Amino acid sequence: MNTPAMNTPAEQHTSIWDTQTADEFWAAMDEPYERFVEAWGGSESALDKWLPAQLPGGERALDLNCGSGRHSVLLSEHYRSVLAVDISGRIIDRARKDRARPHISYEARGNLDVTPERDGLFDAVLSVYGFHMAAPFETALRHIRSLVAPGGVAVVYTAVDTGEWGSPDWHVDRAFGSARYLYGTTGDPHATADLLRFWLDPRWLETVAAAPPPTRDDFHRACAEIFPGCDLTDGPYPDNCAMSWRAPAAS
């Protein structure tokens, strides 16, 4: 299998995940993605148990790069209103169709298009995967902090580069390893095939190559600097890391 050459995290961030690219990708892949993520969600108990504990509840929440809205629904169970944004109008249409809720507003917007001046501040800002794809990761983290209201929370769950992100073979091995895990926990051959179809799609490989995530050490360092006192959690998978932070209350 021919896979594109990978950049290394040290190289300059170059995002190719613009609206056109995202819409073209999701036009082909939203059905396989939805099938495997539904099966994966049922098996991903560590993440599903961790997230709600980070969400104390309140008035307004923001879901960045919301995809088809799975975590937007989770936010809606804890907050009175949810703004959920994704750069792809195609995947936003999917979210509106499959996960419409009266107090969730799905909008086709990039993460950096959400600003305090336009949208105000939020009691919770959530980003599950992909926060680094639209901007250098420290810029993305600072932007997330700028959107959190006094006393609110920021929650980021991300892949991290364990040192092999630049290897195409590593991404192939990761896909097959994840497929084996999914099949072993669900017994669903169709969802397993959909996972492989998604993670081995050349367009997806090109996308992740263009925007590598931070290393674990860099993520820890940046979060400690930008979110003083934050809680950092490694796992539940070897190439994942999570951060939660509560902003100081208004004086």
pLDDT of residue 231: 97
Instruction: Specify whether the backbone of 25 is left (phi greater than 0), alpha (psi in -120 to 50) or beta.
Output: alpha
Q: What is the pLDDT of residue 22?
A: 83
Is residue 210 within 8 A of residue 8, CB to CB? The reply is no
- Tens of pLDDT, residue by residue over 172-215, are 998 999 899 889 888 889 888 988 988 898 878 877 777 789 99
Tell me: pLDDT of 11 over 80: no
Taking CA atoms, 51 is separated from 40, 87, 109, 161, 173, in Å, by 15, 23, 24, 22, 27
**In the structure, what pLDDT confidence band is assigned to residue 251 with cuts at 50, 70 and 90?**
confident
pLDDT for 109: 94
Q: Average pLDDT for residues 101-117, to the nearest whole number?
A: 96
pLDDT-based confidence at residue 165 (cuts at 50, 70, 90): confident
The pTM assigned to this predicted structure is 0.88
Q: Give me the mean pLDDT over the 5-26 stretch.
A: 59
* Cβ atoms 81, 103 nearer than 8 A: yes
Q: What is the pLDDT of residues 25-53, one digit of tens each?
A: 888 888 878 877 777 765 455 777 889 99
* The pLDDT of residue 204: 81
Query: What is the pLDDT at residue 126?
Result: 98
Q: Using the 8-state DSSP alphabet, how is residue 237 labeled?
A: S
